[in-house]
């Protein structure tokens, strides 16, 4: 893998004429922006001259980036000294002709692009030591394209989002390129992505990726599919598979921190933390509205808010796993299941917090002593799936969904200690049944 080379200047006379016209047009817009006191005068986004990227302003003051021409793989590689987005947004011009945009209405064509030429992926890489402040939406004018913002110094999102972009990626990684010029991966060794204020409203974006050594969620994040990968990794851009790298800079306190004001809302959510000893601390909401929720951490996982999924809910923690909030899987017509993976450790479940699986009224059972449940969760067939030991305190029930005509009951067994054993019996399902703790010691 190697870095892509900056785009070379066109050698034809027609290309040189177009380039000079573009410069004159840019100068005109810059003068108008300065006269009006627009965002360009605030130097929100500044190209570094390494590529043929240029920044102008639309008549209403919204910055317009004339992206560099794409290579054979459809990648437009743009480098900046600063890449910031104001509250009025920013336009990435991906059209050689006039385009109608949501942020600025009609804008002129991009002189860097030939007729019918457009990028399929727009990479915006910061080459200086300045973090990025993204306080508005980034709109792709013309043909839709994936958008990547890469800044190893850190990214702060305060109302950022994507328009006309099927996939949006924020990363503190260094771009890696394949031999054909495509973006093959990202090398993350440090940096933090922070979500504040209005959050990241990208509910119309098919996929949103947050790839950094650490991520802090202090506001809402919305997307169709949400991927958060933390830790020093070489991340494959297509599959998001990770390979460990050596970290740089100070070690963060946690890999993923979701504050009480933060939340993640998507159809499907995948959270991965690979740095050993750095865990997940969630006091907000993590909700997968119509798909699976998968959380994997090389450290401890503390869930203090609401964590729900309509599909499968899978949590893997290399260290302690504690639920101080609500873990729930919503009712679905398709069989789903809980999965908790925590080798050699117990899940700590404090009083007054229950695992919920399905719907129905909760029946409280007063228990004076701690009980142990030797299966981690129940699927919709009501068979418990062995994953690890769950420590059950006081009157905390473990409930399971009802999708088939099968009930999991608890029957009295034989033995000096009066031990109880689980058994299965067929009967019509009526609402949510209760799984009682198994009193057998391991």
| Model pLDDT, residue 339 | 59
Return the minimum-mean-pLDDT range out of 80-84, 93-97, 252-256, 373-377.
Answer: 373-377
| Model pLDDT, residue 330 | 66
| Model pLDDT, residue 429 | 41
For 144-157, what is each residue's pLDDT tens digit?
Answer: 999 999 999 999 99
pLDDT at residue 36 is higher than 90:
no
pLDDT at residue 390 is higher than 50:
no
Return the minimum-mean-pLDDT range out of 11-25, 107-121, 244-258.
Answer: 11-25
Phi, psi dihedral angles at 6 (to 5 degrees): -60, 150
Q: Which residue has the tokens 């959050």?
A: 199
Q: Which residues contact 382 (CB under 8 A, 6 or more apart)?
A: 400, 402, 404, 406, 407, 408, 424, 433
pLDDT averaged over every residue in the chain: 78
87 domain residue, yes or no? yes
How many domains is the chain partitioned into structurally? 1
| Model pLDDT, residue 332 | 53
> Which residue, 417, 409, 411, is CA-closest to 440?
417
| Model pLDDT, residue 251 | 96
For 169-214, what is each residue's pLDDT tens digit?
Answer: 999 999 999 999 999 999 999 999 999 999 999 999 999 999 999 9
17 domain residue, yes or no? yes
283 domain residue, yes or no? no
DSSP state, residue 131: P
pLDDT at residue 283 is higher than 90:
yes
Distance CA 279, CA 441 (A): 30
| Model pLDDT, residue 328 | 84
Instruction: Give the CATH number of the domain where residue 59 resides.
Output: 2.160.20.10
85 domain residue, yes or no? yes
Q: Which residues contact 299 (CB under 8 A, 6 or more apart)?
A: 254, 255, 273, 275, 276, 277, 278, 279, 280, 317, 318, 319
Reported confidence tier of residue 338, pLDDT bands at 50, 70, 90: low
| Model pLDDT, residue 329 | 73
pLDDT at residue 23 is higher than 60:
no
Range 119-128 average pLDDT = 98
Range 346-361 average pLDDT = 43
381 domain residue, yes or no? no
| Model pLDDT, residue 376 | 37
Domain region containing 40: 1-144
204 domain residue, yes or no? no
338 domain residue, yes or no? no
Q: Which residues contact 314 (CB under 8 A, 6 or more apart)?
A: 292, 293, 294, 295, 296, 338, 339, 340, 341
CB–CB of 118/142 below 8 Å? yes
| Model pLDDT, residue 7 | 42
| Model pLDDT, residue 44 | 87
Reported confidence tier of residue 367, pLDDT bands at 50, 70, 90: very low
pLDDT at residue 438 is higher than 50:
no
163 domain residue, yes or no? no
| Model pLDDT, residue 365 | 35
């Amino acid at each position: 893998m190697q870095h892509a080379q900056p785009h070379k200047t066109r050698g034809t006379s027609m290309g040189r004429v177009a380039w000079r016209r573009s410069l004159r047009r840019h100068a005109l817009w810059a003068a108008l922006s300065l006269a009006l006191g627009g965002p360009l005068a605030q130097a929100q986004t500044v190209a570094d001259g390494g590529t043929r990227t240029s920044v102008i302003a639309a008549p209403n003051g919204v910055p317009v980036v004339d992206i560099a021409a794409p290579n054979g793989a459809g990648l437009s590689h743009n480098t900046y000294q600063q890449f910031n987005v104001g509250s009025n947004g920013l336009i990435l011009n991906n059209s050689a002709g006039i385009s109608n945009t949501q942020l600025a209405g009609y804008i002129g064509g991009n002189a860097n692009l030939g007729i019918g030429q457009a990028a399929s992926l727009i990479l915006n890489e910061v080459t200086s030591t300045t973090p990025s402040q993204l306080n508005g939406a980034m709109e792709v004018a013309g043909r839709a394209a994936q958008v990547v913002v890469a800044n190893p110094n850190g990214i702060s999102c305060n109302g950022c989002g994507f328009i006309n972009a099927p996939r949006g990626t924020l990363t503190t990684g260094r771009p890696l390129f394949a031999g054909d010029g495509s973006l093959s991966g990202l090398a993350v060794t440090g940096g933090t992505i922070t979500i504040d204020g209005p959050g990241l409203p990208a509910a119309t974006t098919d996929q949103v990726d947050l790839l950094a050594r650490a991520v802090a969620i202090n506001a809402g994040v919305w997307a169709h599919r949400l991927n958060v990968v933390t830790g020093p990794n070489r991340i494959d851009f297509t599959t998001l598979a990770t390979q460990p790298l050596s970290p740089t800079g100070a070690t963060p306190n946690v890999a993923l921190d979701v504050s009480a004001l933060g939340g993640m809302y998507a159809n499907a959510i995948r959270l991965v933390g690979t740095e050993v000893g750095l865990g997940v601390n969630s006091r907000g909401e993590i909700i997968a509205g119509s798909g699976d929720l998968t959380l994997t951490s090389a450290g401890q996982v503390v869930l203090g808010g609401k964590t729900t999924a309509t599909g499968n809910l899978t949590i893997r923690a290399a260290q302690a796993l504690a639920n101080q909030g609500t873990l729930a899987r919503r009712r679905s017509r398709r069989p789903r299941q809980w999965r908790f993976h925590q080798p050699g450790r117990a899940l700590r479940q404090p009083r007054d917090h229950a695992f919920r699986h399905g719907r129905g009224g909760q029946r409280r059972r007063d228990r004076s002593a701690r009980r142990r449940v030797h299966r981690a969760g129940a699927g919709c067939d009501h068979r418990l799936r062995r994953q690890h030991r769950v420590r059950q305190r006081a009157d905390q029930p473990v409930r399971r969904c009802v999708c088939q005509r099968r009930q999991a009951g608890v029957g009295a067994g034989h033995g000096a200690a009066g031990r109880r054993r689980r058994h299965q019996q067929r009967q019509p399902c009526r609402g949510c049944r209760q799984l009682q703790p198994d009193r057998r010691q391991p």
